[in-house]
Structure 1
Amino acid sequence: MTDVEVRFARARDDVTIGYQMFGQGPPLVWMPSLSNIVAQWRIPAMHAAYQDLARNLTMILYDGRGTGASDRRIDLGDLGLDAHLRDLHAVLDDTGLPRVSLLGYYHSVPTALAFAARNPGRVERLVLFGGTPRLREAMLPAQTQALLSLIDQDWGLFADAAATAWLGWDAAPTGRWTAEAFRTATSAPIAKAWFEAARHIDVTAELAAVRAPALVLHRQGEQRIPAETSRRLAETLPDGRFVELSGSTPTLFLEDRDTDVRLVTDFVTTGALTAAGRPATGRLTPRETDVLRLLAAGDSNAEIARRLGIAVHTVERHLSAVYRKIGARGRSDAVRLMLDFRHPG
C-alpha cells in the first residue's frame, strides 16, 4: 500500500478537495489539520499506522481546502467552521458512504463535533485527539504562540519546529519527512489565514446535540493542552469517554503505535475499550490524596487550591493524575469510587 490513488471531490462552493480511500472494514475518516496526504505517506511512522489501521478499517484521508492535494488558491475566502464542514460533506458525498466514524485530530476536533451534532444519522462514532471545542484554548500555550509567530517570519523554520518541538517527531527520518509534509502542506499566507480563522471557531453550544459515542484521547506534555481540558470535553459530551494515554509525545501512533492502533480500531469497530485503553492504576501521593479528599467533600478546584495553598492549575494536574490512577472518568466518578472504597458492599 505505497501508491494510494488521490481522488477529488467538489464542495458546494466549487472548491476541489483531494482525498484517499483504502483498507477494509467500517469506515473511519481521519480529518485533517494542516495536512498533505501524499507527503504523509513518506513519514515511516504514519505509513505504518495507515497500514495497521487499514487491516480492519476503511480509511478515508483528505486535505482541507488550501492544503495538500486540495484547491490551494489564495482567494479561497472563508476558512472557518462552515468551510471545513463543506469539505467533509464533499468527501462523504463523493465516497457514497452513508455512515462513518470520524477521527478529529487537533484543528479538526470542532469540525467533527459540529458535523456529528448537525448530522446524527451519518456519524457512527467519534475519536477525538489534541483539540478542544473552542479552538483558541488549544492555541493559548506559550509554546504554541511562539510557534505561530514563525509563520510570517520563516515558513521553513515553522515547518521544522512544528514537526519537532510541537509534535515531537524528532527521530530521523521521521522528523525530516514530517517537516517536509508541513512545509509542502500549504503556503504561509494561507496558514496565517487558517490559524486566524481557527481563533473564532467555538462549537461548545453544540456538544449537547452530539449523540455518537465519543472517545477522547489525550497524550500531551505539560506545556501543551492540559489533560483536564480533554477530560472536560469527554464529561460534557452525552456519551463521552476519556482515556489518557501513557507517554508525553503529543501525537497518536508514534510513541506506542500498537496500543494506539488497537484502541482506535476496537472502539471504531465495536465501541469497546481494550485493556490497553483503560487508565492505569497506581498509588496516590500524599498531595493527591489530599486533593481527592477535598474533592469528595464537595470543594471546587479553586477552593481546593486555597485550602492547600497551591495554584488552581496545580490542582488540575493532581486531579488528572488521580483520575488516571484510580480509573475515574471525572469528578463524580472519582467521588463514587472513593465512597465505594470507604463503604464496600
Structure 2
Amino acid sequence: MTTPEIQFTSTADGVSIAYATTGEGNPLVMTPGWVSHLELIWTRKLGAFNERLAQSHRLIQFDGRGTGLSDRKVDDISVEARLRDLEAVVEELHLDTFALAGMSQWSPVAMLYASRHPEKVSKLLLYAPFCRGFVGDEGDELAQALLGLIRAEWGVGARATMGFVHPDADREHQEASLAHLSKASSGDIAARLLEESMFNVDVCDVLPAQKTPSLVMHRRRDKAIGWENGRRVASLLPNVKFVPLEGDHHLPEDGDSEAVLRAIEDFLGVETPSTDTQAAAAATSYADAPVTLLFTDIEGSTTLTERLGDAKAQELLRDHNDIVRQALSARGGSEVKHTGDGIMASFPSASGALEAAIAMQRSLAKRNEEQPDEAIHVRIGLNSGEPVREGDDLFGTSVQLARRICDKAVPGQILASNVVRELVAGKGFLFADLGETAMRGFEDPIRVYEVRWSE
C-alpha cells in the first residue's frame, strides 16, 4: 500500500504534529507506540496491520512530538504534553466521536484523553498498556543502564532493545526495525520517552471513573511491558473486556498478529469471515453479573506451625478447608482459589455469602469448644462487585477490597462492605457500623460493618 498523504497541525503549545488518514468508515484514532515515522510504517509489517484496520475504518495516525515528521526539538514529552498532540489531531479533523487505540507507551495518554473527553471516545482500545511506571525497584539498575546506552549511542542502544521488542525475530526483520528506530527519533528523545514511561507515568487514578467501553489486550510473556501491567489496567476499568494473548512479542504486528486484529475487529463490531473471535481472544471478561466475594484468613498460621509442627498444622488447615467448603457447597458458593492461609470464594448472591460466612464461624466455634488446645480462629471479609474474570480466577478492585476488609477483621469476626449490607437489606442480617477506615491501595476511607453471627 502507498503511504497516505501526510498533513500537519499545531498543538496548543505550538508543536507541529504530522498526521495521516487512510480508509473510510467510522474514525479509529491510533496512537504511536514508542517512536514512529509516518513515512516508514507502511513499508514494514505494521503496514499490513494498518491496512487491515483501514479496510473497515477511517484510520488516523500521527507522529508524537520529538519523533518522525513532527517537531523534533521539544522540551516537554510528558503525558500531559503528548495529550496535547492527540487533542490537536482530533480538533484538526473535527472528530465528534471516535474509537481510540492507545498503543503501548502511548496507552497512558489514551487513558487520560478518554477520562477528560468521555463524550468523544466511543470505545477505548489499549494494547500492552500500563497506567503506572512499569519498572520496579528490582529493574532500576538495568533500566538506567539501557537509558544511558540509548543516549550515548542510539544505534547500539536500539539494538539492545531488540531482545525485548522482537524476541526470536530474523535478522532481516531486526535490521528493518533498527533502521526505522534510527530515522524515527534521536537517541535523546527516545531515552526521554522511555524514561518517562518507566518511572514517571501514573494515571491509574483516572481509570475507576471511566465508563467508556474498553478493550485491554496484552501478551502473556511480553518482555518489554510485563503482562501484569495490562491486567492491572483491566482490573481498574469498570467497563472492560480483557483479552490475554499468547506469545512473547511486544509489537502487535509481530507474532500472532491475527489474534490481535480479530480481537480489535470483534470489539469494534467488524464482521469478518470467521466470527469465532472468542477462541482467538481467550475467555476473559468481566463477570456476567455482580458477585459477592468472600475471603477467609487463619490467624497466626505461621505461629501454629511453629507451635504444633508441620503435620499438626496441616491437619488444622484441612479442618478449616473442610468447614469452609461445606458452607460453600450448602449455599451456592464457588471456591476461587486457596490463598495459603485461607480461601477465596464467590457467590451469586450476597445473602448466600453471608449465610456461608456465619455458618463457617459457628462451625469453627463449635469445633474450638471441642478442641480448645487446637483452636482455629479465622477472619472473614466480604465485598460485592463486578470483578475481572480470567479463566477460573477473579481480579480487580472489588476483589482487592474484599481482601483488605478481611485483613481488617479480628479473629472470629466477619466484616462486610456497605455494598453487601445494602444488597441484603430487610433479610434479617444484623450489622454493626464500625465507621470508615483507611484501606491500603484505596484513596478514600471505606465504611465497614461487622456481621453479628453469634446472636
**Structure with bigger RCO (C-alpha 8 Å, 6+ apart):** 1
In the TM superposition, what are the counterparts of 1:231-250 in structure 2 within 5 Å? 231-250=231-250
Aligned to 2:441: none
- Give the TM-score of the pair, scaled to structure 2: 0.59
Q: Residues 101 and 123 from structure 1, CA distance in 2 versus in 1: closer, same or farther, beyond 3 angstroms?
A: same
User: Hey, what's the Cα distance between the residues in 1 that align with 2:390 and 2:13?
Assistant: 45
CA contact (8 A) 1:219 1:250 kept: yes
Q: In structure 2, how many angstroms separate the alpha carbons of the residues matched to 1:63 and 1:223?
A: 24
TM-score of the superposed pair, with normalisation by structure 1: 0.77
| Whole-angstrom distance in 1 between the partners of 2:190 and 2:35 | 8
Taking only the aligned residue pairs, the percentage that are identical comes to: 31
Gap regions ≥5 residues in structure 2: 285-334, 346-388, 400-455
Q: CA RMSD in A?
A: 2.9
Deviation, 1:152, is 2.1
The one-letter amino acid paired with 1:96 is H
* 1:218 corresponds to: 218
Give the distance between the partners of 1:208 and 1:79, measured in 2 at CA. Answer: 26
Give the whole-Å Cα distance in 1 for the aligned partners of 2:104 and 2:143. Answer: 13
User: CA distance change for structure 1 residues 52 and 126 in 2, over 3 Å: closer, same or farther?
Assistant: same
Kept in 2, the 8 Å contact 1:26–1:268? The answer is: no
Which secondary structure state, in structure 1, belongs to the residue aligned with residue 207 of structure 2?
Answer: helix
Matches within 5 A, 1:180-191: 180-191=179-190
Residue 320 (structure 1) aligns with: none
CA offsets 1:148-194 (integer angstroms, 9 cap, x no match): 332123100122233x2121162243222211111111112222333
Answer yes or no: is 1:292 the counterpart of 2:328. no
Whether the aligned pair in 2 keeps the contact of 1:113 and 1:207 (CA below 8 Å) is: yes
Counterpart mapping for 1:143-162 below 5 A: 144-162=143-161
In structure 2, the partner of 1:279 is 283
Matches of 1:41 and 1:144, distance apart in 2: 30
Partner deviation per Cα, 1:167-224 (whole Å, 9 max, x = no partner): 1162243222211111111112222333344432211221123221111111153654
Larger Rg: 2
Contact 2:147 2:195 in 1 (8 A): no
Aligned with 2:338: secondary structure? helix
Deviations 1:119-159 (A, max 9, x none): 00011111112231113448974765543332123100122
Residue 111 of structure 1: aligned partner: 109
Q: Comparing 97-106 with 137-146, which one deviates more in the overlay?
A: 137-146
- Check 1:218–1:145 CA distance in 2 against 1; reply closer, same or farther (3 A cut): farther
Q: Distance in 2 between matches of 1:41 and 1:4?
A: 9
TM-aligned CA deviation for residue 117 of structure 1: 0.5
Question: Compared with structure 1, are the counterparts of its residues 86 and 188 closer, same or farther at alpha carbon in structure 2 (3 Å cutoff)?
Answer: same
Distance 1:100 1:138 in 2: 34
Please give the secondary structure, in 2, of the residue aligned with 1:38.
coil
After TM superposition, the structure 1 = structure 2 runs for residues 1-345 of structure 1, keeping only pairs within 5 Å, are 1-32=1-32, 33-43=34-44, 45-73=45-73, 76-137=74-135, 141=139, 144-162=143-161, 164-168=162-166, 170-198=169-197, 199-221=199-221, 223-269=223-269, 274-275=277-278, 276-279=280-283, 292-294=337-339, 297-298=343-344, 325-326=391-392, 328=393, 330=395
Does structure 1 conserve the Cα–Cα contact (< 8 Å) formed by 2:121 and 2:212? yes
SS of 2:337's equivalent in the other structure is helix
What's the CA shift for 1:269? 3.4
Separation in 1, partners of 2:135, 2:207: 16
Could you say if the C-alpha distance between residues 27 and 138 of structure 1 is closer, same or farther in structure 2, counting changes exceeding 3 Å?
farther
| Cα separation, 2, equivalents of 1:27 and 1:140 | 41
Distance 2:109 2:178 in 1: 25
- Residue 40 of structure 2: SS of its match in structure 1? helix
| C-alpha distance in 2 between matches for 1:174 and 1:23 | 27
The Cα of 1:325 is off from its aligned counterpart by: 4.7
Q: Hey, what's the Cα distance between the residues in 2 that align with 1:107 and 1:49?
A: 18
What amino acid maps onto 1:47 in structure 2? Answer: G
Matches of 1:69 and 1:252 in 2, distance apart?
22
Q: Per-residue CA shift, 1:309-341, capped at 9, x if unaligned?
A: xxxxxxxxxxxxxx7554x563679xxxxxxxx
Higher strand share: 2
Q: Is the 2:336–2:394 Cα contact (8 Å) retained in structure 1?
A: no
Distance 1:249-1:98 versus aligned 2 partners, 3 A rule:
same
Q: Which has a greater percent of helix?
A: 1
Contact 2:129 2:218 survives alignment (8 Å): no
- Aligned-pair distance for 1:291? 8.9
Paired with 1:144 and 1:268, the residues of 2 have a C-alpha distance of 36
Paired AA for residue 41 in structure 2? Q
- Name which of structure 1's ranges 26-35 and 143-152 shifts more when overlaid on structure 2: 143-152
1:80, 1:224 → 2: CA distance? 20
State whether residues 165 and 223 of structure 2, in contact with CA within 8 Å, keep that contact through their aligned partners in structure 1: no
